[in-house]
Amino acid sequence: MIYIHRLGTTRTPLEGWRGKLTLVLATALGLAVAGALIVFSLGLALVLVPIVGLAWLFRGPLIRRAQRRMQEEATMRRGGPAPRGTARVIEVDYEVLPADEHRRP
């Protein structure tokens, strides 16, 4: 295929040995990049899947240990445990509203 240009005839970019070589090199580069991305993602998955699996498996004990540690730190900051029955109680007056037919439940 030949394009007619204002200044004369020009060849298409894929014509000739240079165009074919460029096409082969571009294809090879594209395949290399795609292969590298696949290898990288598989390597990342092989590293992260066991770590996430172990964290998921031991999440209960880890969370309980972290909560206990935070509670102990808060107790130490307060100056020791609070005596039993000295919790602060907030009393609030409230009124139950009648059911409204236009309001969603």
Tens of pLDDT, residue by residue over 73-105, are 888 887 777 677 777 778 899 888 887 767 665
Least confident of 7-11, 31-35, 48-52: 7-11
**Number of folded domains in the chain?**
1
Q: Which two tokens stand for residue 25?
A: 């090199």
* 11: amino acid identity, one letter: R
Least confident of 3-12, 41-50, 85-94: 3-12
The sign one gets for the Cα dihedral 32, 36, 37, 39 is positive
Contact between 20 and 14 under an 8 Å Cβ cutoff? The reply is yes
Residue in the structure block whose two tokens are 């009393």: 91
Flag whether 92 is in a domain: no
Flag whether 17 is in a domain: yes
Domain, as residue range, for 49? 2-78
- What is the structure's pLDDT at 1? 56
Flag whether 74 is in a domain: yes
Residue 62: alpha-carbon gap to chain centroid: 22
Q: Which two tokens stand for residue 100?
A: 């409204």
Flag whether 90 is in a domain: no
How much of the chain exceeds pLDDT 90, in percent?
Answer: 39
Contact between 3 and 9 under an 8 Å Cβ cutoff? The reply is yes
